[in-house]
């Protein structure tokens, strides 16, 4: 296998990348991740230096076997994982917590796939190669650690089986319980909460704030 660390996602074929997606999560699509780079919000100067790991059968790089979006991070902003205590502990002991290597979707606390493997590949071998290359990159660049954020359960368990430390956090999800309009949503609340929300919305209207729905 031929393993490459890419500085830009556009160096990796978009069609082959998307073909490896197992679910319908839009945030791991090539278009989303490469768009973050093109618009300039994901780059070295913003503390998100791309270091995407890709695996090919040979040096021709014509067939993609697996890939993992990774970023060399100089801070913890935009990860929605609050590891400031870890950074503080490193600092108090004279150690550097940054830079670190994060396998993540920037600015997106939505669980899902964090590495992709072709259905035609030897999945265990490609998975092993991806993880080993990430850990080797940490050593080569003298980074503090490797983090894989907001994994789906299968991939979370796969790293746990390799003795990675597990970190649990809490999220609050809103679910549409058959609401047809905003009044339906308010109807599930107590009178006091309905009154407060209506007052807040009225104040926004009175302040002159307006908005438009845009698609695309």
Does pLDDT of 5 surpass 90? yes
* CA-closest candidate to residue 76, choices 8, 141, 138, 149: 149
The pLDDT value recorded for residue 40 is 96
CA distances from 111 to 19, 188, 203 (A): 19, 28, 35
Mean of all residue pLDDT scores within the chain: 95
Q: Delimit the domains of the chain by residue range.
A: 2-161
Report the predicted TM-score, pTM, of the whole model to 2 decimal places: 0.85
**Average pLDDT, integer, range 48-72:** 98
User: 3-class SS at 65?
Assistant: coil
Per residue in 18-31, pLDDT (tens digit) is: 999 998 889 999 99
Q: How confident is the model at residue 211 (pLDDT cuts 50, 70, 90)?
A: confident
Fold (CATH) for 2-161: Aminopeptidase (3.40.630)
Percent of the chain scored above 70 by pLDDT?
Answer: 100
Does pLDDT of 216 surpass 80? no
The pLDDT value recorded for residue 89 is 96
The pLDDT value recorded for residue 34 is 98
Q: How confident is the model at residue 215 (pLDDT cuts 50, 70, 90)?
A: confident
Per residue in 93-149, pLDDT (tens digit) is: 999 999 999 999 999 999 999 999 999 999 999 999 999 999 999 999 999 999 999
Q: How confident is the model at residue 82 (pLDDT cuts 50, 70, 90)?
A: confident
* CA-closest candidate to residue 76, choices 85, 68, 67: 85
- How many CB atoms are closer than 10 A to CB 187? 10
Q: What is the DSSP letter of 142?
A: T
CA distances from 143 to 7, 166, 210 (A): 17, 19, 46
The answer to whether 101 and 147 are in contact (CB under 8 A) is yes
Per-residue b/e over 99-118, b at no fewer than 16 CB within 10 Å? Answer: bbbbbbbbebeebbbbbbbb
């Amino acid at each position: 296998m031929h393993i490459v660390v890419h500085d830009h996602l556009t160096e990796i074929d978009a069609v082959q990348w998307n073909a490896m997606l197992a679910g319908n999560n839009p945030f791991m699509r090539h278009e989303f991740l490469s768009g973050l780079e093109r618009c300039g919000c994901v780059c070295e100067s913003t503390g998100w230096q791309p270091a995407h790991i890709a695996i090919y059968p040979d040096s021709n790089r014509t067939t993609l076997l697996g890939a993992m979006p990774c970023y060399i991070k100089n801070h913890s902003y935009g990860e929605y994982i609050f590891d400031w205590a870890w950074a503080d502990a490193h600092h108090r002991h004279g150690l550097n917590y940054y830079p670190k290597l994060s396998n993540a979707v920037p600015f997106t606390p939505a669980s899902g796939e964090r590495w992709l493997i072709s259905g035609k590949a030897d999945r265990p071998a490609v998975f092993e190669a991806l993880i080993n290359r990430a850990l080797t990159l940490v050593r080569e660049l003298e980074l503090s650690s490797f983090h894989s954020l907001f994994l789906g359960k299968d991939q979370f368990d796969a790293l746990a089986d390799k003795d990675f430390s597990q970190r649990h956090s809490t999220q609050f999800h809103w679910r549409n319980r058959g609401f047809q309009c905003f009044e339906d949503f308010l109807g599930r609340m107590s009178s006091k909460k309905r009154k407060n929300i209506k007052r807040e919305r009225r104040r926004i209207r009175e302040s002159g704030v307006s908005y438009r729905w845009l698609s695309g």
